[in-house]
Structure 1
Amino acid sequence: MIPYGDFTFFFIAFLLLIPVIILGFLGKRSRIYNGLSTAIMIMLIFSSDKHNLFGQTYLSVQLINFLLYIIWQVVIIMYYWYARAKNNKITIFITVITLSILPLVIVKVMQSSWFGAVQLKLHENKVVEFIGFLGISYVTFKSVQLLMEIRDGSIKEVCFWKVIQFISFFPTISSGPIDRYKRFVKDENKVLNGNDYSSLFAKAIHFIMLGFLYKYIIAYLIQTFAINPMMLDFTGMITKWLYMYAYSLYLFFDFAGYSLFAIAFSYIYGIQTPPNFKQPFKAKNIKDFWNRWHMSLSFWFRDCIYMRSLFFMSKKKLLKNQFAMSNVAFFLNFLIMGIWHGIEIYYILYGLYHAALFIGYGYYEKWRKKHPPRWQNKYTTALSIIVTFHFITFGFLIFSGKLF
């Protein structure tokens, strides 16, 4: 069952969450029932009548893969938590990070059309039958972030059951938003009073309604009346130009709608999962865009790839110029982001394209400091938004694989 993929999913989820909602209004929380309802939803999400074991729908390959993967990640995290107290060598850290991301790397290679394996895509009933499951990337992101925060010493306590709750939280299991362990545990430990929960529940209902508008109305209309007709005769620059707009808007409304659903169901559990989008097409420049688009992923790459690459180069004094080191870090950041989407050439080009935009904008900022603009008003702001929008949508055209 695809998360938020049909009304059956919503019906079952709401039915299971009725006790959670009632307890929330009473200012109470049952961690036992929360765990039980999460386990049931995970079984439903990973159930399959096509890829099952011993003829049992609910004993699917994806479910077995997911459970084994959770065990794998929890063992790595708990081992590093205890090992770090005795020995904080960089070699141990590199080993656990490598082991943590290894299954994802294998899945990404097997997904690739270069490898010729079965594809795994969100909202499609296709499965990587080796070790993959829906949402493996986002579970890995949570685990890697947790390992890095353990090494930094920013996490003072790691609980076995909290780690399992964190990385297997069903509302965000398949496509984020990517939460942080400390923030998640803080919400999970806090029991809201009835009034606070009522406010959170009202926001959840609002997000669900908005999510239906985005995903099931606007995104559906764009796909039905814009994208599908263009795919019948996808030739000519004008068609590609129009497709660039339609595909970009479809991506936003479809994914933003999904994210709103995930946040809403998190709120029902009393977990205030961070937002994923903040009016991204109002961005005034490329940096502003990545502070608005898929924010949880953007901030994850910023903290885990960009900042750490920059810190490493500065510590080793690999380059004398801080600006040059920042550009190299941006290059690595977006190259890895592109490869994470897939090792097809258009994903890699998408990452390199955004690296070029970031580096180019950095040079522009340096130039602008020496040459301040003569005027700054709503018209120049509107122009910067329009220009940024077209750079962004062209990037999505590359991402779609339809440019060439």
Structure 2
Amino acid sequence: MIPYGTFTFFGILFVLLIPAVIIGFLGKRLTNYTSFLTFVFLLIIFSSSKIQTFYLVGYIFWVVILIKGYGIYRKKANHSFVYYSSVFLSILPLIIVKVSPLFESTTILGFLGISYLTFKTTQVIIELRDQSIKEIKTADFLRFLLFFPTISSGPIDRFRRFQQDSQKVLTASEYREYFQIGVHKIFIGFLYKYIIGYLINTHILETQFALGHTFVSNLTYMYAYSLYLFFDFAGYSAFAIGVSYLVGIKTPENFNMPFISRNIKDFWNRWHMSLSFWFRDYIYMRIVFLLTKKKIIKNRRNISYIGYTTLFLVMGAWHGLQINYLLYGLYQAILMCSFDWFEQFNKKKKLWKNNKLTHVLAIIITFHFICFGFLIFSGHLVN
């Protein structure tokens, strides 16, 4: 059963959340009941596929051994080898999932949510290495890794922030605020995903797709798909965040009005924020730091461009190895590097003034670049 995908799922969810709400209004700790809910929903989500259940259980054993092993051996003399090996092994299952369709008719090792579990595991290894996490108990790691509201598609939380929330005992008045936010988010999710998103998909996307590749149909499809992608995914994120609040966890926001972005950098600070911030912190910043430290390249701007290009190509490949995803990653890298160059150029030449008119123009221009990127992403142009 896909999370938030059927009304049956919501019916089960709301019934099982009643005790959580009661516990919250009584000002009691929610951690144990949330762990119970995670176990129940794992059974519900994976009950229809024995092979996915097998892969999930195997993956859990894999990453627990990896985290515990790294925690033991990271203090050894050859720390770098242990660290990079651990990072590689943490993403190896995901690599197999992405690459296997090129050679097999079915995906090997794949199960719902493997990408987001991989992000969490890799993040923990990196933060253990940085010593921002001193140590991690297996129970705490599994509670963070398998947190049921976000297991399939995020948002991607950070361990320290999640751990702080899970250990906090909310007062009745504090939980009342969480409850109000959670219910509001869930209603927003229904509005976005099952009303606006559904209407766009049914009455525009399916119609335009049937018309083929005329200029007008492609243009209409581009706008409609961009809006559909936002409302569908933002709706899902609202469900995940809302349910998280109902069990006392402030899962981070994923969207912040991305279509009013003034430039491509602003857009990636507003769109799928938990993912873009993860890629920024654990790929872009690491590449920039490494190249700067090793003095492989002296020009800081070129280092930044290498970081952006790597980041977006990896992001494209993460979505899949199909040509549309790889082209989308390359397109975003070109946009980011081009804007960075223009931003530096404009600081000297002052060609683009900051006023109300240019602000509106910047939003309109950025919106169209974003929408064209989503058209590439959709595969409509290459399929």
Q: Tell me the TM-score range normalised by the shorter chain.
A: over 0.9
| TM-score scaled by length of structure 1 | 0.92
Alignment match of 1:235 (pick from 213, 219, 224):
213
Alignment match of 2:339 (pick from 339, 344, 361):
361
Alignment match of 1:187 (pick from 165, 180, 184):
165
1:336-363 deviations in whole A, cap 9, x for unaligned? Answer: 1111111111111100100000100011
Residues 154 and 203 of structure 1, relative CA distance in 2, 3 Å threshold: same
Shift in Å at residue 315 of structure 1? 1.0
RMSD: 1.2
Identical aligned pairs, as a percentage?
53
Aligned to 1:105: 95
| TM-score scaled by length of structure 2 | 0.97
Tell me if structure 1 keeps the 8 A contact 2:120–2:158.
yes
- The CA distance in 2 between the partners of 1:375 and 1:339, in whole Å, is 37
- The CA distance in 1 between the partners of 2:63 and 2:156, in whole Å, is 16
Tell me if structure 2 keeps the 8 A contact 1:139–1:167.
yes
- The CA distance in 2 between the partners of 1:293 and 1:374, in whole Å, is 25
Residues 315 and 109 of structure 1, relative CA distance in 2, 3 Å threshold: same
> Counterparts of 1:33-48 in structure 2 under 5 Å?
33-48=33-48
AA aligned to 1:7 is F
- The CA distance in 1 between the partners of 2:352 and 2:37, in whole Å, is 60
Aligned to 2:324: 346
- The CA distance in 2 between the partners of 1:253 and 1:117, in whole Å, is 32
Aligned to 2:137: 159
Aligned to 1:73: 63
Shift in Å at residue 377 of structure 1? 2.2
With 269-278 and 374-383 compared, the bigger mean Cα shift is at 374-383
Tell me if structure 2 keeps the 8 A contact 1:176–1:262.
yes
- The CA distance in 2 between the partners of 1:229 and 1:87, in whole Å, is 62
Residues 24 and 87 of structure 1, relative CA distance in 2, 3 Å threshold: farther
Tell me if structure 2 keeps the 8 A contact 1:88–1:151.
no
Count, aligned residues: 382
Residue 28 in structure 1 maps to residue 28 in structure 2:
yes
Tell me if structure 1 keeps the 8 A contact 2:193–2:234.
yes
Tell me if structure 2 keeps the 8 A contact 1:20–1:29.
no
- The CA distance in 1 between the partners of 2:288 and 2:78, in whole Å, is 21
Structure 1 segments unaligned to the other structure (5+ residues): 52-59, 119-127
- The CA distance in 2 between the partners of 1:312 and 1:19, in whole Å, is 49
Aligned to 1:15: 15
- The CA distance in 2 between the partners of 1:2 and 1:108, in whole Å, is 20
- The CA distance in 1 between the partners of 2:352 and 2:286, in whole Å, is 37
Higher helix share: 2
Shift in Å at residue 142 of structure 1? 0.4
Structure 2 segments unaligned to the other structure (5+ residues): none
Aligned to 1:398: 376
Residues 316 and 375 of structure 1, relative CA distance in 2, 3 Å threshold: closer
Shift in Å at residue 78 of structure 1? 1.5
Write out the 4+ residue segments of structure 1 that deviate beyond 6 Å after TM superposition: none
Residue 115 in structure 1 maps to residue 93 in structure 2:
no
Aligned to 2:225: 247
1:101-149 deviations in whole A, cap 9, x for unaligned? Answer: 11111111124xx43523xxxxxxxxx4x31101100000000011101
Residue 175 in structure 1 maps to residue 165 in structure 2:
no
